[in-house]
Structure 1
């Protein structure tokens, strides 16, 4: 499929000329097509409504967390989940309704849990026995208080994805293991504490998953867990949270099904389980599939290196500091020339960054037309985990973030300055 262009043939993002964006806001630059974000949230909702399920689409904000993003989620009546005190604080700064926030994490601190309780976070996803006990102690300080919780379980389902982003298998740092009986023990403890309102269970089997089989298997297993708890503990759940992890296309070789098709398979599977109680509300936690395809990174070409018999190197003005994923787990992307995104490639190059690491290779096989210093390149499907994982390695400032929608561009995160890099440094004189 060709990339959207304007009359000048330039790549457009949210109806805005990408070269105009690069000139106005400088590069490296994160740019989001906000309409694409809204469209995907609405597509998820339509599946639930067509299947007549109670539901929550909970944006997994670890994928991309800024005040502006939480504001868009609020405008779309989306829930969000957070995984740290910092994400929780950012959501609060966006005036996001705390009743629609879920707080995840495998090692929440006492400080973070106190902050969550003070803000009246809607749901805390309890990950382990330490947290279950700690949260119980904190609630006991206010005996009249109750707190909605979900228990995160590891159902023993291994998704076909990179080991670093596979989370549903038994050997995982996350959640209460099901097969060993730990999840059942946790449910008994939670139900014995009247200050806990156990809504149900949560599982997340991994990320960047292309096959529905893992979700079908996980849904069947989670349904069996709930049947068992209903029979043995006289417990009726109100929520089944099946997580997220729906894969997206990063390159032409990726061929994922539409993200909402995963949801349809999950709902049909759950309906077929003949539960001995009313169907619970189904919550999903998409992150990458909401913001990934909507995001672009713009870079300016600089130096190059050509050695006879070897693939050339072309360097851009960013790299692993603003997108760590290729160095971290060999993620792949595609890049196009912003002034002619549908130009046919004429060379296969290493597209590399400016950081002092040999592993700072953004795209190992970048198929590009001829480029010159000063040309602007757009890397596609960069909306998830680029900005979230950005660092100041080599004391490089983190780029700005721009939202583009309906032909208008708005700066939503300022580019860091050199002064920002030293604002927390203290003198040793």
Structure 2
């Protein structure tokens, strides 16, 4: 699989990222280690923005912070003039601490709590993507009490099944997200939202799933949404200002993956919206999208140190690393596949087929099954590619393992943006019992 961004193999056969030797990064910051190619994050962001500029549409490209959130990433998104999609008070707090422009923050989530909504109202976030009737009433009551008028969008489930794992498919009718189009809930939601004096209904939002390699689902979504809006226009005279088509744009994890280019996704979406609105002689809406994985996914590499090696003659060789499902749960959660190389032997040809095991006490803690690598030795550094999305953000302390550090690399410089957790961090919230039981 070709290397992404600024990743290269130098004259010593070492992997370099952003001009930094992966072996030196592992030595300085320890492993496991998340390494982000800052130039590639910026390049991916700009490809979305420039594609929309060429389309002639008004737009917002909102980085979906659930893919990877920390203060430095929020700062980078702000520098690239992106908006920001947050789904919790924690992600919102991170954005606020980063000084992200609040008017460009969009608050998502299927069960926003009263505490979270109060926090968002106090911060004056730019838009709320309302997911259900409970939230609609709660947000309106809180906005009324605070004497604030808020921008809202309604999340719809358009009834589209896309080819992706069931855990990351969200646009079908049987979904925990949004108001159903086919069952009448979406129409009822529009009526309720328009009747609420504290709401400014900007438009509607759809998100059909993640890791999508085909533009067909997006075209279908635009058509279903427009047909629904035709009925809304007839019955209520309402027309959207904003159409949010979510994210879900796929990336390449292995040579089996064949993602659509960013430019092709944007061109398909904007062409379909233009055609569908123009044929009705309606003003074109502003288009919002929410890429996350497609901005940071291929910009991330996780470095591990190889420890034990177990050969089972005639069956398999297990190569264990010093991380696993605690820093990348995706293979265990939904059988995600990754490619990898030995950072200190990157120019050598494959010599054996091994399987990469994590160190957690779970048989399911396997990062990669059956990968061809040069002869593997304990102490080698394994680089797992395209781990920039949902690695750090879904990391855990299972088995009381410490979450890894995160570094941004660019032009030969490495910047520590998240420190490795300490043992003290692990027990910081623990409390010893005042009186021990007598046995």
What is the TM-score normalised by the length of structure 2? 0.96
Whether 1:204 and 2:207 are equivalent positions in the alignment is yes
Count of residues in Structure 1 that have an aligned counterpart in Structure 2: 428
SS at match of 1:312: strand
- Residue of structure 1 in register with 2:374 after alignment: 369
In 2, the alpha carbon distance for the partners of 1:337 and 1:58 equals 35
- Deviation of 1:7 (Å): 3.3
8 A Cα contact 2:304 2:321, kept in partner: yes
- Residue of structure 2 in register with 1:291 after alignment: 296
- Deviation of 1:364 (Å): 1.2
- Residue of structure 1 in register with 2:330 after alignment: 325
* Match among 315, 328, 332 for residue 320 of structure 2: 315
1:281-331 CA distances to partner (integer Å, 9 max, x unpaired)?
Answer: 100000000000000000000001111111110000000000000000000
In 2, the alpha carbon distance for the partners of 1:83 and 1:17 equals 35
In 1, the alpha carbon distance for the partners of 2:347 and 2:294 equals 24
Whether 1:186 and 2:189 are equivalent positions in the alignment is yes
1:142-186 CA distances to partner (integer Å, 9 max, x unpaired)?
Answer: 33x200000000000111100000000000000000011100100
Q: Gaps (5+ residues) in structure 2?
A: 435-439
Whether 1:151 and 2:139 are equivalent positions in the alignment is no
Q: Gaps (5+ residues) in structure 1?
A: none
1:184-223 CA distances to partner (integer Å, 9 max, x unpaired)?
Answer: 1000010011210000000000000001111110111112
In 2, the alpha carbon distance for the partners of 1:343 and 1:216 equals 44
8 A Cα contact 2:345 2:374, kept in partner: no
8 A Cα contact 1:59 1:286, kept in partner: yes
8 A Cα contact 1:227 1:276, kept in partner: no
- Deviation of 1:230 (Å): 2.0
* Match among 30, 37, 56 for residue 34 of structure 2: 30
8 A Cα contact 1:333 1:379, kept in partner: yes
Whether 1:418 and 2:396 are equivalent positions in the alignment is no
SS at match of 2:336: coil
Cα RMSD after superposing both structures: 1.0
Whether 1:5 and 2:34 are equivalent positions in the alignment is no
1:83-116 CA distances to partner (integer Å, 9 max, x unpaired)?
Answer: 0000000000000011000000000000000000
- Deviation of 1:367 (Å): 1.8
8 A Cα contact 1:247 1:259, kept in partner: no
8 A Cα contact 2:403 2:421, kept in partner: yes
In 1, the alpha carbon distance for the partners of 2:280 and 2:200 equals 21
- Deviation of 1:258 (Å): 1.0
In 1, the alpha carbon distance for the partners of 2:37 and 2:348 equals 22
- Deviation of 1:377 (Å): 0.8
- Deviation of 1:12 (Å): 1.1
- Deviation of 1:275 (Å): 3.8
8 A Cα contact 2:207 2:247, kept in partner: yes
SS at match of 2:345: coil
What is the TM-score normalised by the length of structure 1? 0.98
